[in-house]
Structure 1
């Protein structure tokens, strides 16, 4: 009886839906070809409603239903500050080089003094230590470690990351080579991030095994906010978030018993709390659409 009351009190839906969610296991990266994309009026209506409510600033968003290719977007190709989303194309290139044999996941890389930077992460006090590529890629994604990202970027090369991004079709994604004196912020777009996540979810990031490795890394950090803010507790999420003083971004793959969807939401110059609500509502819009269709 106590258990039943607990299930009834958590999130929307029936008891049977909650029970199904409790036993739900995320599917592996697909080995089937990705279905063609097509705009969907109902999904667009849900996204338009979800992204209302910013008193200032702007939002860019993209949703893709992975079952049937239904899509919706809001200014999805606009170029936005990437914040920590720049770590996703780095991850993609690291995994690709590991697969082709030019980078060994057990190779040790030294954290040098010129790798030091502030912000998120745990490596600020570990200058001079050596960590494996595998450890660094996990820290870069799970803890959004900035130093881990810089160490990996040195190893694989900024040009390689940008070339790979273009090859994947990420037209707005650019990693700035600050060490070479290049100015500006790393950039991306909601449509680029949705494309990259769809590439991973459909097993097309090199191959299904590499894509599955990426998914496992992206699902290590399950947060209680932003994309997950309005989702039932049983929903599985593989995602990456990023934040700057003028940007709050979260992009991910929502895995649920009735289906899966890619959600990418980027905000600029918005009130942080309002941005968080827009991101959460957008993920909920995708979840509800998948569950209703």
Structure 2
């Protein structure tokens, strides 16, 4: 009887020991799970949708999806290091004051940036949302693009602006004016179109993408690469305009005559749907530096991507050199495959 009792006690001790081991493991797992859960929640919370601010009662259109920077993936971490090295090299030579780069794989939405949140004067980059506003207006007014408007030329265009083919005082269709505004960066066409657009419609383009509206005076307006990218992202996704209208808008951007920035860094014949912007930074009326930017979608065969390079440099030549060098590096990088 005593042997039996001792055996039962030893058995209970073994069970208690096993139970304690199990409890310890469970507690350890629980703590690890809780910690992992916090990390996961932080990661998941960095994903969020950007939806159109429409008044439709039953639908809420998805325009784009915000995702965290993809530097946890080896290939994107490598690409970021390559871009950072080039940016730092260009900054060290003293001819460039500020460089920001934003790269995004438009198919996977994975992206990397270098100084991507620094703000700049967009200048002619704002011709893209104006074009988008006209395409949006066309949805409810199909005859809009054939309507004719009297063109008013203006003096003092950007140095990269192609000579205008339009004659002041002559009427042109909205379609022709949009093409000249985007393809040749014609400022006269821009102001002619700006004077005729419904301000609420243009403001709606910014509002629905969550971007601050510059209003009537864009002289003090600044924007980072990440925010500006939204105009091109929604065009590529066909989520703000109709897919056919988005295609027409990107086709117009792909015919831009300016070829000294992003286009100079990729092989000849590569489709680049892009827009440049140029702004002279002055103090007391004296030019101190120049901002030059080029942003768009590079249709690398089998691997299209968005690239935006914004710069502030002492000379225009220095800015051009930076943009074309970044474009070439990104296109040729083994990490961009």
Give the TM interval when normalised to the shorter protein: 0.7 to 0.9
Q: Does 1:39 align with 2:69?
A: yes
- TM-score norm. by structure 1 comes to 0.77
1:58-69 correspondence to structure 2 within 5 Å: 58-69=98-109
1:265 pairs with one of 309, 312, 329:
309
Cross-structure match for 2:135: 95
Q: 1:282 to 1:47 in 2, by over 3 A?
A: same
2:203 pairs with one of 144, 150, 162:
162
Q: 1:99 to 1:285 in 2, by over 3 A?
A: farther
Q: 1:166 to 1:51 in 2, by over 3 A?
A: farther
- Rg bigger for which structure? 2
Unpaired stretches in structure 2, ≥5 consecutive residues: 1-61, 71-76, 281-289
Cross-structure match for 1:108: 148
How many residues matched?
A: 254
Shifted more, 249-258 versus 281-290: the winner is 281-290
CA offset digits 1:258-282 (Å, max 9, x no partner): 3011001111244322222221222
1:49-60 correspondence to structure 2 within 5 Å: 49-52=85-88, 53-54=90-91, 55=94, 56-60=96-100
Indicate conservation of the 8 Å contact 2:279/2:292, yes or no: yes
User: How far is the alpha carbon of 1:290 from its aligned partner?
Assistant: 7.1
Query: Residue 205 of structure 1 aligns to a residue in which SS?
Result: coil
Cross-structure match for 2:28: none
Q: Does 1:204 align with 2:261?
A: no
User: How far is the alpha carbon of 1:169 from its aligned partner?
Assistant: 2.6
Indicate conservation of the 8 Å contact 1:176/1:184, yes or no: no
Cross-structure match for 1:150: 191
Counterpart Cα distance in 2 of 1:277 and 1:260: 23
User: How far is the alpha carbon of 1:90 from its aligned partner?
Assistant: 0.5
Counterpart Cα distance in 1 of 2:135 and 2:205: 12
- TM-score norm. by structure 2 comes to 0.68
Cross-structure match for 2:214: 175
* Cα root mean square deviation, aligned: 2.6
Q: 1:274 to 1:121 in 2, by over 3 A?
A: closer
Counterpart Cα distance in 2 of 1:142 and 1:290: 31
User: How far is the alpha carbon of 1:68 from its aligned partner?
Assistant: 1.5
Which structure has more relative contact order (CA 8 Å, sep 6+)? It is 1
